[in-house]
């Protein structure tokens, strides 16, 4: 019981961290706020966001095995697959902004050039798309935890 509670806590902490850092990316990634410091900060914020995403996945998967319901119950529930699917979609979307932020930092270091307004708006759209998909994952989780989506 203690292990399950601690894994639940770790999972929630990872989720909250992920949410804080995707919100930070969305706040920073604005053409009107873009400067050299913001480019550097976006790279750092995105790195923490990525680490938080890995922690969410790791703690989420860890909760399945020592959990009271057991892995058979979880893996047979379509809501778990929906959660993981949404998580994978967010992860795939996050690749483009991560690569862009790194390119912006390299270009800034090499030439002193900031990203164009169009580049920033494009990255922000992808960050916002992630931020709008992420809330669907805990929605599936609360129904999963209450037994919805299971067979029988």
Answer whether 56's CB lies under 8 Å from 14's CB: yes
Residues lower than pLDDT 50 in the chain: none
List, for residues 121-134, the tens digit of each pLDDT value. Answer: 999 999 999 999 99
* Domains delineated in the chain: 2-145 (1.20.120)
Task: Please give the pLDDT value at position 142.
Answer: 93
Task: Please give the pLDDT value at position 70.
Answer: 83
* DSSP 8-state secondary structure symbol assigned to residue 114: P
Answer whether 21's CB lies under 8 Å from 48's CB: yes
Task: Please give the pLDDT value at position 145.
Answer: 86
Task: Please give the pLDDT value at position 152.
Answer: 56
Task: Please give the pLDDT value at position 26.
Answer: 97
E strand or H helix at 24 = helix 2-28
Task: Please give the pLDDT value at position 147.
Answer: 86
Task: List the structure tokens of 5.
Answer: 């509670």
Alpha helix positions (H), 65-116: 70-75, 78-111
How far separated are the first and last CA of the chain, in Å rounded? 26
């Amino acid at each position: 019981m203690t292990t399950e509670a601690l894994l639940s806590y770790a999972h929630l902490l990872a989720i909250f961290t992920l949410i804080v850092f995707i919100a930070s990316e969305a706040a920073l990634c604005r053409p009107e706020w873009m400067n050299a410091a913001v480019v550097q900060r976006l790279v750092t914020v995105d790195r923490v966001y990525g680490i938080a995403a890995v922690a969410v996945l790791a703690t989420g998967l860890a909760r399945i095995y020592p959990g009271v319901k057991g892995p058979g119950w979880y893996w047979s529930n379509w809501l778990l697959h929906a959660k993981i699917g949404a998580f994978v979609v967010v992860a795939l979307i996050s690749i483009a902004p991560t690569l862009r932020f790194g390119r912006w930092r390299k270009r800034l270091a090499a030439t002193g050039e900031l990203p164009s307004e169009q580049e920033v708006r494009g990255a922000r759209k992808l960050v916002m798309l992630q931020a709008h998909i992420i809330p669907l994952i805990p929605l599936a989780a609360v129904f999963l935890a209450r037994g919805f989506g299971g067979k029988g």
